[in-house]
């Protein structure tokens, strides 16, 4: 309704927001950019308009859909990398994410959920938290790479580093007394130190193994439409990949700093091709390794034939 502010005791700024409806407030800080200074961002979510959450069924005989969390990187005041012609990463990856969402919605056995559905910023931890809240079976973060050299080109797929997996397991172990979260569907709060440590490590090991294998399928299919920067899944400590029990991959769809790739990434037809390649990789993995209780697992037990794939992938791709 209104905003008031005033300085107290010489150097404290007090800001009061008068609210005319019930809200769920969230806040986070953003570091300074060349365009703006340091910022405190306050989000006021309307409690009366809640987006329906995707939830897994707990019935053992269910044929539930696989929940795929699609994370379009950056957003809002964070444009990500900026390529020739002022092409912004946040716009490119949102286009690809939306196309991937459409493909998964049309594919029986899959239920996509968009981590961000518009041009706004979500913290890195907030993205992970949303995926866990929606009980995702896979977290896919979509990005576009950039480098000082304009010659750098090609797509990549990242999974969490082994060091990052170990530190994530340790973090969840350290916070288990206060955490309401489950790890792999099991609470750590009532376990002794040794058992809790083993469970956390096992969960992260399994999650990382699936992430690497899933990423390999996605990378292979991306190689059918573009050059690859590296021919194997790379590993790094990206914050968005640090979920203890959700297989997570970060897809670099190309170098927005490369003039040719930036031009392609900005076009709708190419965004659709890239989304289709990511979709094929996800589908291939889950068709071969469906989690129990899912429609895909039931179809595999029944010997149901897979739906024909769209498009033909190149047999080889060059490394960047």
Confidence check: pLDDT of 143 > 70: yes
- How would residue 34 be classed by pLDDT, with cut points 50, 70 and 90? low
- pLDDT value at residue 251: 97
The torsion angles phi and psi of 59, rounded to 5 degrees, stand at -70, 125
The residues that bridge with 13 in the sheet, in sequence order, are 7
Summarize pLDDT for 273-294 with one digit per residue, the tens: 999 999 999 999 999 999 999 9
Q: What sign has the CA pseudo-torsion 295, 298, 302, 306?
A: positive
Report yes or no: 243 and 124 within 8 Å, Cβ to Cβ.
no
Cα 127 from Cα 262, distance rounded (Å): 26
Mean pLDDT of the chain: 81
* Number of Cβ within a 10 Å radius of residue 2: 8
Confidence check: pLDDT of 193 > 60: no
Cα 129 from Cα 115, distance rounded (Å): 10
Range from 58-67, 170-179, 204-213 that averages highest in pLDDT: 204-213
- pLDDT value at residue 173: 39
Cα 277 from Cα 312, distance rounded (Å): 10
The residues that bridge with 23 in the sheet, in sequence order, are 46
Cα 274 from Cα 55, distance rounded (Å): 28
How many CA atoms lie less than 13 Å away from 148 in the CB half-sphere? 0
Alpha helices in 140-192 (DSSP H): 162-174
241 versus 206: the higher-pLDDT residue is: 241
Helix/strand/coil for 31: coil
- DSSP letter string, 86-121: G-BHHHHHHHHHHHHHHHHHTSTTEEEEES--SS--
Report yes or no: 219 and 157 within 8 Å, Cβ to Cβ.
yes
- pLDDT value at residue 89: 96
The token pair that represents 23 in the structure block: 């809200």
- pLDDT value at residue 238: 86
- How would residue 46 be classed by pLDDT, with cut points 50, 70 and 90? confident
Report yes or no: 91 and 135 within 8 Å, Cβ to Cβ.
no
- Where does residue 18 rank: exposed (0-12), middle (13-18), buried (19+ CB within 10 A)? exposed
Helix/strand/coil for 88: strand
Confidence check: pLDDT of 202 > 70: no
The residue-averaged pLDDT of 92-108 equals 97
Cα 131 from Cα 247, distance rounded (Å): 11
């Amino acid at each position: 309704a209104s905003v008031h502010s005033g300085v107290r005791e010489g150097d404290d700024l007090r800001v009061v927001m008068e609210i005319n409806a019930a809200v769920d407030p969230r806040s986070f800080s953003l570091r300074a950019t060349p365009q703006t200074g340091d910022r405190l961002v306050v989000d006021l979510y309307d409690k009366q308009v809640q987006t329906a959450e995707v939830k897994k069924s707990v019935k053992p005989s269910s044929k539930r859909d696989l929940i795929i969390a699609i994370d379009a990187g950056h957003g809002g005041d964070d444009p990500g990398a900026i390529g020739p012609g002022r092409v912004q990463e946040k716009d490119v990856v949102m286009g690809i994410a939306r196309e991937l969402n459409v493909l998964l919605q049309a594919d029986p056995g899959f239920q996509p959920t968009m981590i961000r559905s518009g041009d706004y910023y979500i913290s890195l931890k907030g993205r992970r938290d949303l995926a866990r809240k929606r009980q995702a079976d896979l977290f896919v973060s979509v990005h576009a790479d950039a480098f000082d050299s304009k010659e750098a080109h090609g797509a990549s797929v990242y999974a969490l580093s082994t060091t990052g997996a170990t530190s994530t397991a340790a973090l969840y172990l350290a916070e288990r007394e206060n955490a309401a979260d489950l790890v792999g569907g099991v609470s750590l709060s009532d376990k002794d130190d040794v058992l809790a440590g083993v469970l956390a490590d096992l969960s992260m090991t399994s999650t990382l193994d699936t992430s690497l294998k899933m990423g390999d399928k996605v990378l292979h299919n991306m190689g059918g439409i573009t050059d690859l920067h590296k021919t194997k899944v790379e590993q790094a400590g990206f914050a968005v990949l640090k979920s203890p029990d959700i297989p997570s991959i970060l897809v670099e769809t190309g170098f927005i700093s490369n003039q040719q790739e930036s031009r392609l990434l900005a076009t709708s037809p190419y965004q659709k091709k890239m989304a289709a390649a990511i979709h094929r990789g996800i589908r291939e993995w889950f068709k071969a390794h469906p989690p129990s209780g899912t429609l895909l697992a039931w179809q595999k037990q029944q010997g149901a034939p897979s739906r024909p794939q769209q498009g033909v992938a190149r047999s080889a791709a060059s490394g960047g």
